[in-house]
Amino acid sequence: MPPKKLLTDAAGHQALSRCEARLSSIFDYGITGICFADLEGLVTEANEAFLKIVGYTREDLSAGRLNWRELTAQEYRHLDDYATEIMNVTGTCAPFAKECIRKDGSRAPVLFGAARVSGSEKELVCFTVDLTEYKQAEEKVNYFAYHDALTNLPNHELFKDRLKHALLAADRSERKLAVLLIDLDRFATINDTLGYVTADQLLREVAKRIVACVRESDTVARFGGDDFALLLTEVNRPEDAAKIARHVQETLSAAFYFDEQELFLTSSIGISLNPDDAKDAVTLLKTAGTALNRAKELHGNHYQFYQAGRTTKALRQLVLENNLRSGLEREEFIIHYQPQVNIQSFQLVAMEALVRWEHPALGLLYPAEFIGLAEDNGLIVSIGEWVMRTACLQSKSWQDAGFDPLRVAVNLSARQFQQPALVESVAQILKDTGLDPNLLELELTEGSIMKDPNQAIRKLHELKAMGIHISVDDFGTGYSSLNYLKRFPIDTLKIDKSFVKDINTDPDNEAIVSAIITLAHALKLNVIAEGVETQEQLESLQMLKCDEVQGFLFSTPLSVAEFTALLAERLTIGITKDYNTTRLPSLVNVLQHFR
């Protein structure tokens, strides 16, 4: 062989050796996982990088326990199927992201690509890049896009997002929610005096204390600096938000200790309620900010509700709740009496006692504004007993003054009816006031007696045995069973005013009223319709054979003095027994027309 040919072969051999060495270095020491496998997935050779990524050993490889398709998490295997189809056609597939299941069961996010080995129909070379660190970095970036780096609390953006979702949920469930903005008083002085390191430590401790004041379902956020925010998702009344505000202030007022140094903080808090103050996230935060500014104007350590003008519904409710007990003690409650009239003869047959609150600052208040609050805090029992005792005393007083006896109807709340000593309490009131039990009627709602029907039946029978009349108020709006209804010892069904209102315009309402009257008469019960305001309503009720009516058409609820004048008018015209011509103050012409 010529020398030149030998030299050429030797140079080619050296180049080939260098190429193999380089490929071997890439295969053995590269950070990219490389393996050879068949189309079915069986891995025949793999470098250390690949084994490290999937968490298997070379012994596993030798034993044939590695299959790149089976290593893929179940929810990504359709991507492997698609990649295999592509390689069968083109010989290669574009890299794609998926997750592999390691030998220990943990997951590894990877970027995977593969190609058929040149000259082979079945052998593949696969490339796998571990994305774990990339994913962790990505998650960290995403996390701090929505969280405060100092305290790890949600930041302003995440708080707004949660607030928007909470508002949608609250609207669907007709619940309230509250936003509280918290500002640390004179925090800038602490920062300037002790430095940012101590200030940052203090902020982290403040965050921990605030989080400890609320439920897991609530959100605590840091907006930056010394500004924090609370989202309370389960607020039944303004006092719930006020309690949290007070709890936060009390918690933050306890001493903080840093480097043997004792620090004390106070805070200002602004409160805004949905839906009372705002119905969208932007306005709710704005109104809370306005309330916070008012709290800061009070020189620290105060909380304020948002006030649109002199007062808001939220503040008004809070004032009422705080004043309920003292109002009862100061005898600010009064009773008005609304006449109940026989629908055929127009006889004045009874009266309903309706409580009012003469609030020293807010004026005359109706039950809708305070009865719900009294139910929540338990004062409804005391108020109910006061109403019953006062109504019985007044009724007896009218009798003693020479007026004909009239039955007085008193509303009994669900909470009052559930009291174990209810029957004994009613008996004592009747004994103390001297009122004939036959002249007392207790009104209960369907809901209150259906909470525990068997217990209700027992109590009602005991009350009935005393001679007391029993009526079911707002009938037709609840869920009473006819089976129970016939077992209740009741005397009267009271048709809710919502049905009476549209009796002349809504055939369904007329049908419901007719059905209630027919049912009541079949059970030998009396029927009274409330909320009668027009002659047309009265005529319809007459046609349907209703027994009694009450409403503004005949009279508004009257004060004691006005009702006394009504009773006196009957005496002065000399008709003490024939109620046919009884003239109620607001209906002289109507009664004359129907007589």
For every residue of 385-439, DSSP letters joined together read HHHHHHHHHHHHHHHHTTPPP-EEEEE--HHHHT-TTHHHHHHHHHHHHT--GGG
Q: Residue 272 is part of a domain; what is its CATH number?
A: 3.30.70.270
Question: Domain tally for the chain?
Answer: 3
Using left for φ > 0, alpha for ψ between -120 and 50, and beta otherwise, residue 314 falls in alpha
Is residue 220 within 8 A of residue 263, CB to CB? The reply is no
Burial zone of 594 (CB within 10 Å; 0-12 exposed, 13-18 middle, 19+ buried): middle
167 shares a domain with 105: no
Burial zone of 453 (CB within 10 Å; 0-12 exposed, 13-18 middle, 19+ buried): middle
Is residue 200 within 8 A of residue 151, CB to CB? The reply is no
Domain annotation covers residue 13: no
At a CB cut-off of 8 Å and minimum separation 6, what does 190 contact?
198, 199, 202, 263
Q: Residue 109 is part of a domain; what is its CATH number?
A: 3.30.450.20
Closest CA to 229 of 294, 159, 321: 159
- Taking the CA of residue 132 as centre, how many other CA atoms within 13 Å lie in the half-sphere pointing to its CB? 10
474 shares a domain with 334: yes
Domain annotation covers residue 43: yes
The vertex-431 CA angle with 425 and 435, nearest 5°, equals: 110
308 shares a domain with 351: no
Domain boundary among 290, 318, 346: 318
148 shares a domain with 130: no
Domain boundary among 318, 340, 371: 318
| Dihedral angle sign, alpha carbons of residues 60, 66, 70, 76 | positive
Q: Residue 391 is part of a domain; what is its CATH number?
A: 3.20.20.450
570 shares a domain with 539: yes
503 shares a domain with 393: yes
Q: Which domain holds residue 171?
A: 144-318
Domain annotation covers residue 3: no
Give CA–CA dist 528/124, Å, rounded. 89
SS (H, E, C) 151-164: CCCECHHHHHHHHH
120 shares a domain with 189: no
Closest CA to 551 of 470, 496, 475, 492: 496
pLDDT in tens, the chain (595 residues): 554 554 456 555 555 555 555 555 566 556 789 999 988 889 999 998 999 999 999 998 888 889 988 999 999 999 999 998 898 888 899 999 999 999 999 999 999 999 988 888 788 999 999 998 888 887 887 887 889 989 999 999 999 999 999 999 888 877 889 999 999 998 888 887 778 888 899 999 999 999 999 999 899 999 988 999 999 998 888 889 999 999 999 999 999 987 777 888 999 999 999 988 888 999 999 999 989 988 888 878 899 998 775 445 666 777 788 888 889 989 999 999 999 999 988 889 999 999 999 988 788 899 988 988 888 888 999 999 999 999 999 999 999 999 999 999 999 998 899 899 999 999 999 999 999 999 999 999 877 887 788 888 999 999 999 999 999 987 765 545 566 677 889 999 998 888 898 899 888 889 989 999 998 899 899 999 999 999 999 999 999 999 999 999 889 999 999 999 999 886 654 333 333 333 444 443 434 444 3
Give CA–CA dist 66/69, Å, rounded. 9
Q: H or E segment at 367?
A: helix 367-377
Q: Scanning the structure block, which residue is given the tokens 């002790």?
A: 194
Domain boundary among 83, 100, 135: 135
Domain annotation covers residue 17: no
Domain annotation covers residue 2: no
Closest CA to 229 of 270, 281, 199, 283: 270
| Dihedral angle sign, alpha carbons of residues 415, 419, 422, 425 | negative
